[in-house]
Chain A
Amino acid sequence: MSGFEPRIVAFLCRWCAAAGADLAGTSRLQYPPNAIPIRVNCSGRVEPQWVVEALKAGADGVLIGGCHPGDCHYVVGNYKTRRRIYLLHKLLADMGIEPERVRLAWVSATEGARFAQGMREFLAELKRLGPLHENGGEK
């Protein structure tokens, strides 16, 4: 599977993670293009169901990007997300899916480099895990 290119859906909160991704752009920090970003107001809006649907629809990994704990624009949204993803990780493990495929990342609006680095690390992790779908995700 040397040519394996993981497909990633990235749910990014608009105040921190998406702004951090924008800063990575402004700073011209290169990172792999595998993730398609979907901007939401708050990581607290991200439903575990979305993550499961993304994995079903062909994603090899899902990234949820939110504000650092304590910095949520909506005060506590990211704490709720953290609990929900914690439970989802247990559920995924029970289903035989590696929990590492679903990554929660705290990225502030000033952390462009952290966003780019996180993307590289997540991609490396997914390459190590291999494709989630037997046919390599091709339909």
Chain B
Amino acid sequence: MPETRPRIGVFVCHCGKNIAGTVDVARVAESVSRFPGVVYATHYEYMCSDPGQALVQRAIKEHRLTGVVVAACSPTMHEETFRRAAEEAGLNPYLVEIANIREQVSWVHTGFPATEKAIRVARTVVEKVQGNRPLRPAEVGVVRRALVVGGGISGIQAALDIANAGFEVILVEKSPSIGGHMAQLSETFPTLDCSQCILTPKMVEAARHPRIRLLAYSEVEEVSGFVGNYRVRIRKKPTYVDPAKCNLCGECEKVCPVRVPNEFDRGLSTRAAIHIPFPQAIPSTYTLDAQNCLGIVPLRCGKCVEVCAPKAIDFDMREEILEEEVGAIVLATGYELYPKEAMAEYGYGTVPDVIDGLEFERLLSASGPTRGEIRRPSDGKVPKEVVFIQCSGSRDPEHHKPYCSKICCMYTAKHALLYRHAVPDGQAYVFYIDIRAGGKDYEEFVNRAMQEERILYIRGKVAKVFREGEKVVVWGADTLTGKRVEVRADLVVLAQAVIPSPGTEELARKLRVACGGEGFLREAHPKLRPLEALTAGIFLAGAAQGPKDIPESVAQASGAAAKAVAILSAPKLEHAPEVAEVQEELCSGCGICVPQCPYGAITVDEVAHVNEILCEGCGTCVAACPSGAMTFRNVEDEQILRMVRAALEAADVGV
């Protein structure tokens, strides 16, 4: 026979003297015992101790309790403890509530008013428990496979970590090769490791991993479902080259009549329509860029097909749409540099010898267009005076981006230092606002650039950059001396602001993931949940979440992978049941609740439906519902109103 009348037990904790030293605990128990619905009330020295918990468990059985109130410390301390104890004694854990009479009573008040408030607080919680229903966490199965979007260092690291934990990974990269921006870099700060040398082994490992399926030249089209059970549509663009047959002989490239700017070299060199982005590209194959190829439609050029000995080129290749199921998703879509067109004041885009940081990386790179010799784009001369401008487009809320791009202080010091190594008689100038070198061995690295390499650091902003004959003139101000500075340079390198890679916001919309004002993917909590998106089961890695250097990106990728593995390895997913719920007979289907929800948990057809796995339980939709159809499990309006009345009634303190 189910109990129809509430039988509540109240357990008042002394917490040694922490509570009992201020609050008359015996009086609280005595007073609350006379409250309607309460059949048992007692007090004990340490309720959280084993004997204290046993006392609660015994009372649950002996008094056939239908609800328990523990008047003790903050629920953040021991709510879980007492809920578990109650469950062991056969009481549904969601029928246990904590009345906080320590942090919010005994520690902040004194004397009789403290006891009076403790009684009121306990009584409000007794009212709540009387309205609580037994709940069970929702359970759902998990697809044991992950999707990683983006094949830069972050995506590669996340994919490797998840795969090494024993789960399948689909790694989607939109360009023809994985590697991302790190593949373009020359050397990395502060150790001056060769970037490709440390990256390519990881690329190979990802490509060869038995549990990683690499989908390059592919993009995520659509995502539906929820944590543990996502359905993903991926569009795989045709490369027109069969990677199984291509032997990288490169004959096709030589005969291709097309020359277009080479993206990998940031336009500092050209490439054929059929190309391989860089020699170590993975997948290790040529890609025919259909947009620039003369052969596909309407007239066949076909020169590459003629010379391809292994017959790897197939003009009839079509794009494929793949449907996959995954349990967790890691977004590692990376960054791009703030566009040239936006920096007219620095002559960027109009003066050929004004270039950005990634272009300079290509000039420094041994595999770059100049084979590592620093030659300026306009005439190929070795520049003898180079000006580096930091915060170009960053920290400039009036004209450009308000935020600090974080990596530029370091890579500019590296650029200047590598330039001095390559051109020992050259002079490097760095304009800076201030130096932000927070990171292991970073400050030391910048000091080395300043002191040992005789790089001239000028504190101040550059006002204007323009061309005068063969020179690029830089006008700036030295804010330390208050003097105007003019440098007649041969080359200017702009440390452009870091922005999210193109398409980030579009992808975020497909995944119902939030973007911040500047378009970077937003984490669930800036401090406590930095790896997670707000949508459960979606994790963030690397510069897509905000400007980051390589070690930080790798660390975040491994963290995101660990989070994904926690989902993939769970036997089933449990989700707190204290969430919103629709009373369908009251719902008019107006849909006011839908935009309230930051998690996309509500859908509306005839009536509203809450996906209880997606709902995080804020209750904002409940407060918005005009017809009272949206309710909140165990925080019903009726419960709150009873709590409010109990809080305001004259306390029966037994005097």
User: Which A residues are within 8 Å of any B CB, using their own CB?
Assistant: 7, 9, 14, 18-19, 21-26, 28-33, 36-42, 44-50, 53-54, 57-59, 71, 73-77, 80, 84, 116, 137-139
Known: A50-B640, A75-B534. A30 touches B109 (CB 8 A): yes
Instruction: Assess whether B620 is in contact with A22, with CB atoms less than 8 Å apart.
Output: no
Q: Contact at A26–B114, with CB atoms within 8 Å? A: no
Q: Decide: A53 near B121, CB < 8 A? Known: A9-B648, A22-B103, A30-B108.
A: no
Q: Is the interface of B mostly helix, strand, loop or mixed?
A: helix
Q: Are A38 and B648 in contact (CB under 8 A)?
A: no
| Residues of chain B within 8 A of A21, CB atoms compared | 103-104
Q: In the complex, what's the smallest C-beta–C-beta distance from B74 to chain A, in angstroms?
A: 5
Which 5 pairs from chain A and chain B are nearest by CB? A25-B103, A45-B619, A44-B620, A74-B618, A36-B647
Q: Is B66 in the interface zone, CB < 8 Å from A?
A: no
Contact in complex: B107, A28 (CB < 8 Å): yes
Taking A42-B619, A80-B623 as given, write out 18 further A-B residue pairs in contact, using a Cβ cutoff of 8 Å, ordered by the A residue number.
A25-B74, A25-B102, A28-B107, A31-B109, A41-B618, A41-B619, A45-B622, A45-B623, A50-B637, A57-B645, A57-B648, A58-B648, A73-B618, A75-B534, A75-B598, A77-B618, A138-B650, A139-B650
Q: Pick the most buried of A29, A33, A42: most chain B CB atoms within 10 A of its CB.
A: A33
Q: In the complex, are the beta carbons of B624 and A80 less than 8 A apart?
A: yes
The minimal Cβ–Cβ distance linking A109 to chain B, given in whole angstroms, is: 10
Query: How far, in whole Å, are A129 and B124 apart by their CA atoms in the complex?
Result: 26
Least distance between A83 CB and chain B CB atoms (Å): 10
Task: Give the chain B neighbours of A42 by CB distance below 8 A.
Answer: 618-620
- Find the A residue at minimum CB distance from B647: A36
Can you sample 25 A-B contacts with CB below 8 Å?
A18-B104, A22-B74, A22-B100, A24-B103, A25-B103, A26-B103, A26-B107, A30-B109, A31-B108, A31-B109, A32-B109, A33-B108, A33-B116, A39-B75, A42-B618, A42-B619, A42-B620, A45-B622, A45-B632, A59-B644, A74-B620, A75-B534, A76-B620, A77-B618, A116-B108
Which partner residue on chain B sits nearest A13 by CB separation? B618
Residues of A close to B619: CB separation below 8 A? 40-42, 44-45, 77
User: How far is B117's CA from A25's CA once the two chains are assembled, in angstroms?
Assistant: 14
- Kindly supply a per-residue 1/0 record for chain B positions 597-631, scoring 1 wherever the CB is within 8 Å of any chain A CB and 0 otherwise: 01000000000000000001111101110000000
Residues on A with C-beta less than 8 A from B104 are 18, 21-22, 25, 37
Q: What is the distance, in angstroms, from A122's C-beta to the closest C-beta of chain B?
A: 15
Which single member of B74, B117, B618 contacts A44 (CB below 8 Å)?
B618
In the docked arrangement, what's the CA distance between A136 and B425, Å? 87
CB-CB under 8 A from A28, the residues of chain B are: 107-108
B449 to chain A, nearest CB (A): 37
How many Å lie between the Cα of A76 and that of B526 in the bound state? 14
B617 touches A41 (CB 8 A): yes
Give A18 to B75 CA distance when docked, in angstroms: 10
What is the interface size of chain B, counting residues whose CB is below 8 A from a CB of the partner?
Answer: 46
CB contacts (< 8 Å) of B617 on chain A: these are 41
Shortest Cβ distance from residue A132 to the other chain B in the assembled complex, whole angstroms: 11
A139 — which chain B residues lie within 8 A by C-beta? 649-650
Interface string of B522-562 (1 = CB under 8 A from A): 00011000000010000000000000000000000000000
Q: Is the CB of B644 within 8 A of A50?
A: yes
- For chain B residues 472-527, which have a beta carbon within 8 Å of chain A? 514, 525-526
**Cα separation A31 to B75 with both chains bound (whole Å):** 21
Q: Which among B107, B124, B525 is the interface contact of A36 at CB below 8 angstroms?
A: B124
Q: A32 to chain B: which residues have CB within 8 Å?
A: 109
Taken together as a complex, chains A and B put the C-alpha atoms of A36 and B105 apart, in Å, by 10
Within 8 A of A (CB), among B95-140: 100, 102-105, 107-110, 113-114, 116-117, 120-121, 124
Known interface pairs A25-B104, A26-B103, A50-B641. Does A38 touch B598 (Cβ–Cβ under 8 Å)?
Answer: no
**A74–B643 Cα gap in the complex (Å)?**
24
Look across to chain B and name the residue whose beta carbon is closest to the beta carbon of A46: B623
- The CA of A138 and the CA of B649, in the complex, are separated in Å by 9
Residues in A with CB closer than 8 Å to B117 are: 33, 36
Q: How far is the CB of B606 from chain A (nearest CB, A)?
A: 25
A45 closest partner in B (C-beta): B619
B76 on the interface (CB 8 Å rule)?
A: yes
User: In the complex, are the beta carbons of B623 and A44 less than 8 A apart?
Assistant: yes
B596 adjacent to chain A (CB < 8 Å): yes
- With A25-B103, A44-B618 as known contacts, state yes or no: A59 contacts B648, CB within 8 Å: yes
Which residues of chain B have C-beta atoms less than 8 A from A33's C-beta?
105, 108-109, 113-114, 116-117
Q: How far is the CB of B352 from chain A (nearest CB, A)?
A: 43
User: Are the CB atoms of A49 and B124 closer together than 8 Å?
Assistant: no
A41 adjacent to B647 (CB under 8 Å):
no
Interface flag for B246 (CB, 8 Å): no
List residues of chain A with CB within 8 A of the CB of B637: 47, 49-50
Closest to A7 in B: B648
Q: Which residue of A lies closest to B18 (CB)?
A: A25
Q: Is B635 an interface residue (CB 8 A)?
A: yes
B111 to chain A: closest residue by CB:
A33
Residue of A nearest to B121 (CB): A36
Identify which of residues 450-475 in chain B touch chain A, using a CB-to-CB cut-off of 8 Å: none
Determine how close the nearest CB of chain A comes to the CB of B596; give it in whole angstroms.
6
Q: Across the interface, do B75 and A53 meet the contact criterion of CB distance under 8 Å? A: no
Contact B644 A57 (CB under 8 A): yes
Asked if A41 meets B76 with Cβ closer than 8 Å, knowing A33-B105, A54-B644, A77-B618, the reply is no
Cα–Cα, bound, A30→B590 (Å): 47
Chain B residues contacting A76 (CB-CB under 8 Å) are 598, 620
Residue picked from A32, A48, A75, A116, most chain B C-beta under 10 Å: A75
Query: Would B108 and A75 count as touching, CB distance under 8 A?
Result: no
Most A CB contacts (10 A, CB to CB) among B120, B124, B623 go to B623
Q: A25-B102, A36-B647 are in contact. Are A41 and B635 (CB under 8 A)?
A: yes
Q: Cβ of B620 and Cβ of A80 under 8 Å apart?
A: yes
In the complex, are the beta carbons of B648 and A54 less than 8 A apart? yes
Q: In the complex, what distance in Å separates the CA atom of A50 from the CA atom of B644?
A: 8
User: In the complex, are the beta carbons of A9 and B76 less than 8 A apart?
Assistant: no
Pairwise interchain contact A30-B618, C-beta atoms closer than 8 A: no
Nearest CB to that of B127 among chain A residues? Answer: A38
In the assembled complex, the CB of A54 is this many whole angstroms from the nearest CB of chain B, namely 5
